[in-house]
């Protein structure tokens, strides 16, 4: 059974909402980390529109770095986000979704990869830094936000509409 792809409008609206929440979640780093992963890994990737997904990922990365009061010109988070979102989009086209379980497993793996890529890029850009526990909360809450995004993107999407 092939899972229908959500419409552009719905996806972009959800991305915008997640980006707003990400911006507003500055005082709560753990929540912001989860929102950031959700936007980059679940909402933004789209196999047939990599540019749009990359732009959303860039926006998410720059927003996170800006609200974390880091120097905005570091750019490591944005670069890692763009790389991972392109990878996630390619994976979505290469291995289409078949159910919630596969979706959660894919999100968990991508979360791990995203954390590693993000911190690696930040290390390249700014040197060593404290990792914090955001990656842990993100990984621990994969079932929650994975189910949520599944419901928002795929389960509720009209079939065939683009």
Partner 1 sequence: MALRASRWRWSRTVWQRLILVLLWLGHGFWVLLGPSPGRHWTSLADALSRPAQSLAARWEARRVARREAARNFAETRAENVRLAAELAQLKTWAAQEAPALSEADSAVRLLGLKRQIPLELASARVIFSTRPATFGGLILDRGADLGLVPDQGVLVPEGIVGRLWSVSGSQSKVLPVDAPNASVAVMLMRSRATGVMQGLGSGRALIRYLSNQEVVQVGEAVLTSGLDRVFPRGLLVGYVAEVTQGDLELQVIVNLSAPLDRVSLVLLLPSQPPLEVQAPFLAPEQKPQRKRGKP
Binding site for partner 1 (CB under 8 A): 50-51, 54, 58, 71, 73-76, 78-79, 82-83, 86, 121, 124-127
Q: Please give the Cα distance from 79 to 61 (Å, whole number).
A: 8
Q: Any idea what DSSP says for residue 157?
A: S
Q: Please give the Cα distance from 159 to 72 (Å, whole number).
A: 41
Phi, psi (rounded to 5 degrees) for 143: -60, -35
Beta carbon of residue 49, minimum distance to partner 1 (angstroms, whole number):
8
Beta carbon of residue 117, minimum distance to partner 1 (angstroms, whole number):
11
Beta carbon of residue 2, minimum distance to partner 1 (angstroms, whole number):
23
Of 3 and 82, the one with the shorter C-beta distance to partner 1 is: 82
Nearest CA-CA partner of 63 in 75, 50, 45, 51: 75
Of 100 and 126, the one with the shorter C-beta distance to partner 1 is: 126
The H-or-E segment that residue 21 falls in is: helix 8-24
Of 89 and 146, the one with the shorter C-beta distance to partner 1 is: 89
């Amino acid at each position: 059974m092939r899972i229908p792809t959500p419409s552009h409008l719905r996806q972009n609206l959800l991305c915008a909402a997640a980006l707003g929440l990400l911006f507003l979640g500055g005082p709560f780093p753990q929540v912001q980390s989860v929102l950031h992963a959700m936007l980059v890994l679940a909402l933004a990737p789209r196999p047939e529109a990599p540019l749009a997904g990359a732009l959303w990922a860039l926006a998410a990365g720059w927003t996170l770095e800006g609200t974390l009061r880091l120097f905005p010109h570091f750019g490591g988070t944005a670069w890692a986000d763009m790389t991972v979102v392109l990878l996630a989009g390619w994976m979505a086209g290469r291995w289409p979704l078949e159910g919630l379980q596969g979706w959660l497993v894919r999100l968990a793996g991508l979360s791990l990869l995203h954390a590693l890529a993000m911190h690696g890029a930040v290390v390249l850009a700014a040197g060593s830094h404290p990792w914090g526990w955001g990656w842990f909360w993100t990984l621990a809450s994969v079932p929650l936000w994975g189910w949520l995004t599944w419901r928002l993107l795929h389960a509720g999407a009209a079939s065939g509409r683009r």
